Amino acid sequence: MMQSKNQKYMFLLFCLAPTFIVFAIFTVYPLLNGLYLSFFDWSGMSGTKDFIGWDNYKQLLKDPIIPKTIWHDYFLVVTKVVGIMVLSTYFAVALTQLRIKEAPFYRIVFFFPNIMSVVIIGILWTFIYNPDLGIVNSGLKAIGLGSWAEPWLGSPDWALASLVLPSVWAGIGLFMLMLMGGIMNVPKNLYEAADIDGAGSWQQFWRVTVPLVWPQIKTSILYIVITTLNGSFIIVQVMTEGGPNNATQVMGSYLYQQAFKQFHFGYGATIGVMILILSLATVLILQFLLRKEKVEY
Amino acid sequence: MRFGKILVKTGMRIPLIAWSIAVIYPVIWMVLGAFKSNGEIFASPWALPKSFSFDNFVTAWTDFNIGSSFLNSIFVTMLGTVLCLVFSLPTSYAIERIRFRGSKVLFNVYLSAMMIPMVLGWIPLFFLLMKLHMLNSLWGLGVVYAVTQIPFSVFILTSFMGTVPKELEESAAIDGLSPYGILFKIVTPLVLTGIITVSIMNAITFWNEYFMALIFLQSDDQYTLGVAMDLMNQKAQYTNAWGALFAGLTIAVIPIMIVYGIFQRHIVKGMTEGAVKG
């Protein structure tokens, strides 16, 4: 290379500095400032910002809504992981192993909800659950199960569970694609060998497919967990706003209400810190639980 | 044996068909609802509309401000997508192709930002934007959008940079091309697929974003589609303007359908690669 050292540094600066500066201003600073704010009592622009030490954290431990929000978030995490993983694994296996002619059709259709906005999905499903004109209740009535009809999102017993279906509906496609990618990379001769050894398709699935696709399964689970803990409040905000009577309140929606509706910005930041700690801890624990020797093939 | 196999294959198809219906039917229901009057929606939620009138679309577009929100969304999406590319392309090139101390660390900083819940940062970000007079501004929102997608974009673009042959850069350097020339005249055209993939992914994300828009935008003339739809949904609960709401939803979904139709391969590739490595 003909260029001088100086030229190289100028070019590096040109490439890296502007990006890192905006990243520092709009991502790193807000996160650090969020930690800092969690030690203050602050109602926003005009109010005084009082340093109160750990008081927000003490309040957090005593707040009766907080355990509910945590439980609701983890309920969504578990049901979504189970629902999405079971269905998307089934679809991925069926679409790769069965040689179905119309497989591309399913792939395109199943992925479509993944690119729809959560607002649209939320509003659409609010309609689907609508007690009077929704598909669910009118469908139940049509097949003679009218007594099972519920005001799904308005019922404290059913509201949280009702949020699972739209999330699974919107999530399947992506994980199906990831798993399909993994399955297509499994060498064909492994299945042939398993066939010769007399392994049935169920055994082949558990002994060949699952171990070899484990990296994709692990990534999918972690991805669902992270996106749920960090983003479940969006569907909650659109469909129920945390109601009825906090029955669907999750950590993020509670943060939003405390900070931007009640103007407890310091306490909101404390909830944010809790979300950060819980999601990082959950990811670390899961990574430990899901670790497995890498399979060579 | 053959008969058994056919039976199994048919049996395994049932869930596939069922799920296709579960995905397609609500969307069709929504689009058909956009053509129905309120009376029709209540009387027969399952039936086809009696006549295809566009009244609901007109109501949604003008009375519920979906038209101006649509344009706002287009503006923010384009601004965010272009800015994000301007920031991530040179950084990805430097990280992947130039030897310097700390390149791994920098890459990992961006990578770990993808795991951190940004919701904690939104409170300070709100006040920062206020200080910078970027609150309630589509320009401000576009800048924030661009920055939030830098980690993902750097991540995907570096993997595309890795596929450019080193020899091409070397011979261009020997011919006297500056590093800037190499980046913009040689490398950029070669990673065009990556640029398109990342830009579509980002554009879809920005088009769909709702919560930051809800927090950072405050007057309805600035609202993007997500916020406007949410507001419309709340209004429709009181006014029973269901047909118009269905029409609004349909308007908001149409661009996504078109983009998906055209770029289906790119989207699928970007989604899978981004997710697998993340």
How does pLDDT run across B115-160, given as a tens digit for each residue? 888 889 999 999 999 999 999 999 999 999 999 999 999 999 998 8
pLDDT of residue B2: 65
Instruction: Kindly give, in sequence order, each residue whose CB lies less than 8 Å from that of residue A19, ignoring residues fewer than 6 positions away.
Output: B87, B88, B90, B91, B150, B154
Dihedral over Cα of A18, A21, A23, A25: its sign: negative
Match 């566009």 to its residue by tokens: B54
Cβ–Cβ below 8 Å for A216 and B128: no
How does pLDDT run across A156-202, given as a tens digit for each residue? 889 999 999 999 999 999 999 989 988 888 888 888 888 888 888 88
Cβ–Cβ below 8 Å for A135 and B180: no
Please report residues of B whose CB lies closer than 8 A to that of A15: 90-91, 93-94, 98, 183
pLDDT of residue A2: 47
Check pLDDT > 60 for residue B274. Answer: no
Which token pair is A252? 């993020």
pLDDT band, very low/low/confident/very high, at A295 (cuts 50, 70, 90): low
Cβ–Cβ below 8 Å for A116 and B113: no
pLDDT band, very low/low/confident/very high, at A283 (cuts 50, 70, 90): very high
Q: Enter the DSSP assignment of A99.
A: -
Cβ–Cβ below 8 Å for A123 and B87: no
Count of positions (residues) in chain B:
278
Cβ–Cβ below 8 Å for B26 and A135: yes
Please report residues of B whose CB lies closer than 8 A to that of A229: 117
pLDDT of residue B278: 36
pLDDT band, very low/low/confident/very high, at A71 (cuts 50, 70, 90): very high
Cβ–Cβ below 8 Å for A98 and B87: no
Distances (CA, A) of B4 to B9, B12, B18, B169: 9, 12, 22, 59
Distances (CA, A) of B56 to B36, B157, B198, B223: 8, 43, 35, 20
Mean of the per-residue pLDDT values of chain B: 88
Please report residues of A whose CB lies closer than 8 A to that of B9: 98, 100
Please report residues of A whose CB lies closer than 8 A to that of B276: 178, 181, 216, 219
Instruction: Kindly give, in sequence order, each residue whose CB lies less than 8 Å from that of residue A170, ignoring residues fewer than 6 positions away.
Output: A113, A114, A116, A118, A121
pLDDT of residue A265: 93
Least confident of A212-226, A272-286, B7-21: B7-21
Check pLDDT > 80 for residue B69. Answer: yes
Rounded CA gap, A121 and A106, in Å?
20
Check pLDDT > 70 for residue A3. Answer: no
